[in-house]
Amino acid sequence: MKSYLSLVPISAKVHRRRNRMTLACIIIAVFLVTAIFSMADMALRLERTRMLERHGNWHIMLKEIERSDAELVGSRPDVAASAWYDAINYDLDEDYLIEGKRAVLCGADAAYVTDIMNCLADGRYPQNDSEILLTDNVRALLGISLGDSVTVKTPTDSIAYTVSGFGGDSVFTQLSDSIGVFMNRTALQQLCGPDGSTDSDPAFYVRFAPGVNAKKAIENLREQYGWSDENISENTALLGLMGFSSDSYMTGLYGIAVILFLLILMAGVFMTVSYT
């Protein structure tokens, strides 16, 4: 015997069955871990797509902030898209109607539809004060097409608009059998009356650029502008899938995932050792 290495083939012949079992344990463990993480990755991708369709592609919503501060946030290099949003008759308790159907009137920047919510289904966003974009359910409900003229009845007036596009339906409009109307912010302000009041305070939506640590970016905004939880609302579903949510529920889910991974790792190690 020239070295201890010469014992390897001898041991392999003597413990041939045990070596095969050890190799099988290693292969099974590798395939098990690979399969688990592959399925987890697939599930995350599918869940992310579903969340984008349901909640939109934004990370935080800012409320009760100065417009000058919003402009500064929107110009940050770590922000990919931003847009203002406001609404009239969100509770459907006032007589804003289109051919007898109650309507929610939304004033927003074009980026809200094209980059934040990604809900432009056909046509284009309104380019002037006389154009509107309607939710897609209006085609089946009222038979309206692109370029048609529709009249929006308000509690005090009736105003004619041209349909420039259609957007994706929301769960709210489907359940309430109502219509969502999008127009530019100037057109919405004209409907608000002298006081310019709406149902809710204007909200500023922000989507961070790819690769940005959203959690750190949010904390930076809190420190820089002194904003609290009343000013910043997180898109918990999307941030949670990215691993940046500060929500305790999402944090708990990631903790459970780590524990399960450690259990699988320990089981694989013990199974391999038992046959060596």
Q: Is the pLDDT score of 237 beyond 90?
A: no
Query: What pLDDT does 69 receive?
Result: 93
Q: Is the pLDDT score of 171 beyond 70?
A: no
Q: Is the pLDDT score of 130 beyond 80?
A: yes
- Local confidence band at 4 (pLDDT 50, 70, 90 cut-offs): low
Query: What pLDDT does 140 receive?
Result: 84
Residue with the bigger pLDDT between 33 and 137: it is 137
Distances (CA, A) of 226 to 37, 147, 212, 220: 40, 46, 21, 10
Question: What number is the average pLDDT over the span 26-54?
Answer: 69
Q: What stretches of the chain show up as alpha helix (H) in DSSP?
A: 7-14, 16-55, 67-74, 110-111, 137-142, 171-176, 185-192, 214-225, 236-242, 248-273
Query: What pLDDT does 60 receive?
Result: 92
Residue with the bigger pLDDT between 145 and 9: it is 145
Q: Is the pLDDT score of 2 beyond 90?
A: no
Q: Is the pLDDT score of 240 beyond 90?
A: no
Query: What pLDDT does 41 receive?
Result: 65
Helices 16-55 and 248-273: crossing angle in degrees, nearest 10, is: 170
Q: Is the pLDDT score of 273 beyond 80?
A: no
Question: What number is the average pLDDT over the span 82-94?
Answer: 89
Q: Are 101 and 179 in contact, with CB atoms under 8 Å apart?
A: yes
- Local confidence band at 182 (pLDDT 50, 70, 90 cut-offs): very high
Question: What number is the average pLDDT over the span 93-116?
Answer: 90
Mean pLDDT taken over the chain: 80
Q: Is the pLDDT score of 199 beyond 80?
A: no
Tens of pLDDT, residue by residue over 46-79, are: 666 666 667 778 889 999 999 999 999 999 999 9
Percent of the chain with pLDDT over 90: 32
**CA atoms 254, 255, 257, 262: torsion sign:** positive
Query: What pLDDT does 222 receive?
Result: 92
CA atoms within a 13 Å half-sphere pointing along the CA-CB vector of 195:
3
